Chain A
Amino acid sequence: MSEIVLEEVSKHYGAVRAVDGVSLRAAAGKFLVLLGPSACGKSTVLRLIAGLEEPTQGRIFIGGHDVTRLEPDKRRVSMVFQSYALFPHLSVAENIVFGLKVRRTPRPEREERLARVATLVGLTEVLARKPAQLSGGQRQRVALARAIAAENKICLMDEPLSNLDAQLRHGMRVEIRALQQRLGMTVVYVTHDQVEAMSMADRVILMRQGRIEQEGAPEELYAQPATMFAARFIGTPAMNLVALADGPRGATIRGAPETPVLAGPGAGRVLGVRPEHVALTGEPGVPGSVASAEYHGADTILEVRVGDETLFVRAPGRRELGPGARVRLGWKPEAPHLFDAGSGVRLDLNQTLPQPA
């Protein structure tokens, strides 16, 4: 009933293609995250689903009905805005029941829903206050409560956590996910923060310049990035992408011809290894020298120069390695990814050499 389908949807502003032929499906009751850098068109997709923008081309279906030209209020969707869009002159309670009043829900039901929603998001104490008297986290909850109070099966969220501090953000991530599962809502959630995408989503759609770059479960995006862009976007620190060169015994890292890292030719190909998959090993690892070491508590992020390239290594615990220290790097045979340097597309890895481990 609450499935959202986009068919070849485009939105052009003059010559700018904000959204360019996007087709997607948000399954009912699932949490779909639209992920991407700023100006990749993810918010526009959300606004197209909400009906705040009309697509230039393509069709939008909600629950099997074509809603492409339907007014927002007829689509039965709720929306949480990045700025929360609370009405500053209304109290928290009035903000939450705004839509119910508009739709002339009878007073007893309104009160009942208000009480339930307020308990659900923990706002019972502050119902009489104005938004200006609330903390950022509380305002966020009011916006959430307003969206939930409408009891729509679909909730659209446009970077709802980007105005909160890191600690609060973590708490709200957990809460939003729990709410979504408890109420069985279909959520389409826009964010540029890959941590939010990874931790909350059932499915992630990674967007780039108005197009879908990759779609899949969070673990798919992490384990099988389809392009260099996807590889760089998911994970912190980002995946190491180092240019390869041809060597006598296989492909080598550019500027470090002694140690082959892959069988076959290297030129025109890019090797990707996640920092958490790189280990400090002895012989016969890839030799490099430490450029900097950043201690994070649970682990230390080492910046290591190998030939002309730089690799980040996430080493557990504290490592007393000053700049200039000589290290050798290694990774498991299944760890590396291979990309075409020109197109950025993922290449098959079947010719991988067993690596020095």
Chain B
Amino acid sequence: MKHVYGWLLLTPAAILLVGFTHYPAAATLVDSFFSTGTAIRPSRFIGFGNYALLAEDPIFWKVLGNNLWFALGTIPTSIALAILMAVWVNDRLPARALVRMAYFTPTVLPMIAVANIWLFFYTPQIGLVDQFRALFGAPSHNWLGDPGTVLACLMVMVIWKEAGFFMIFYLAALQSLPPELEEAAKIEGASRWHFFRRVMFPLLMPTTLFVLVNATINSFKLVDHLFILTKGGPDNASSLLLYYIYQVAFSFFDTAYASTLTVVLLALLAGLALVQFHLVEKRVHYR
């Protein structure tokens, strides 16, 4: 009887989870082995046909490359900034609460709003960036229209948005460090930098691992800004994997190929998470 009650209690949540998470995930995997069905030609099993197609799809490789550069460009910088800001606002300084809030504000804003703000910054001639450059007589530049600068522009914006979020985790971790540690180090003659490098940073490792995993996942799943800023352009120079999946599925209606791309994305993320846990765990100090 006990089992029945247990299962009854679990059922509502289980239905939702299975219906909206587990079944779609499994269905996606299955769909990736079938062709996209149309009214005339129903879907049929084609084995790894979609994967073969993917291997030869230049846009896929382009987008994957973009995404890797994007991750590489945003994650370390935003983590470094987050630590810097956290250490800074953890100190006794005037209007500390205000500074903390200011750093956290970008996190609260929806990505769509952020993208709209930065759209104004990057607008040629009248945007903030160009206005500022004009002071020094530099020519106007189409920041988001140039394949050479568009990805970097997006990275700067995402760092601006993410760093404050990660700062909160570091701030919490810093506040759990006993203040005697710093005092003991001070008496032993350690400089602030030495203390940071030898004590604070190693003790923040669990937080760093957590933030690293989240940042990696975010760099693959956060694409809202592309809808506002570039739509992946020009010439897919700013397109990311998830945005490409969206395009394939809902603009080109090639659901089978979109499923294939999704499976690849998930495998990639799972692989990255495993590697991170494995590598970093060796150097993480858990109390």
Contact = CB atoms under 8 A, between A and B. Distances in A.
B193 to A, nearest CB: 11
Interface string B269-287: 0000000000000000101
A295 interface: no
A79 B181 CA distance: 12
Interface stretch (B161-169, B184-192, B260-268): B184-192
B180 A73 contact: no
Interface in A70-84: 71-73, 77-79, 81, 83
A81 B189 contact: no
Interface stretch (A24-32, A96-104, A278-286, A320-328): A96-104
Contacts of A150: 188
B178 interface: yes
A73 B186 contact: yes
A99 B180 contact: no
Contact of B285 (A81, A88, A146): A88
A25 B19 CA distance: 77
B129 interface: no
Contacts of B185: 98, 102
A132 B199 CA distance: 16
B146 interface: no
A221 to B, nearest CB: 30
A85 interface: yes
Contact of A81 (B184, B194, B202, B203): B184
Interface residues of A, number: 22
B235 interface: no
A132 B287 CA distance: 7
B188 A81 contact: no
B187 A77 contact: yes
Given A88-B203, A102-B190, A79 B285 contact: no
A99 B181 contact: no
A98 B191 CA distance: 12
A107 interface: no
A85 B183 contact: yes
A327 to B, nearest CB: 51
A230 to B, nearest CB: 31
Interface string B186-224: 111111001000110011000000000000000000000
A88 to B, nearest CB: 6
Nearest to B201: A89
B245 to A, nearest CB: 41
A314 B287 CA distance: 48
Nearest to A82: B180
Contacts of B180: 81, 83, 85
Interface string A48-79: 00111000000000000000000111000111
A89 B205 CA distance: 10
Contact of A52 (B186, B188, B190, B194): B186
A89 B203 CA distance: 7
Contact of B187 (A50, A83, A88, A89): A50
Nearest to B184: A85
Given A88-B203, A88-B285, A72 B186 contact: yes
Interface in A235-263: none
Interface string B65-86: 0000000000000000000000
B287 A88 contact: yes
**Residue of B178, B188, B191, B285 ringed by the most chain A CB atoms within 10 A:** B188
- Complex A-B, nearest 3 residue pairs according to Cβ-Cβ distance, in ascending order: A99-B188, A73-B189, A85-B180
10 contacts: A52-B187, A81-B184, A87-B199, A89-B199, A89-B202, A99-B190, A102-B188, A102-B189, A102-B190, A103-B188
Given A52-B183, A98-B188, 6 more contacts: A72-B183, A77-B187, A87-B199, A89-B199, A102-B188, A102-B194
Interface of B: 178, 180-181, 183-191, 194, 198-199, 202-203, 285, 287
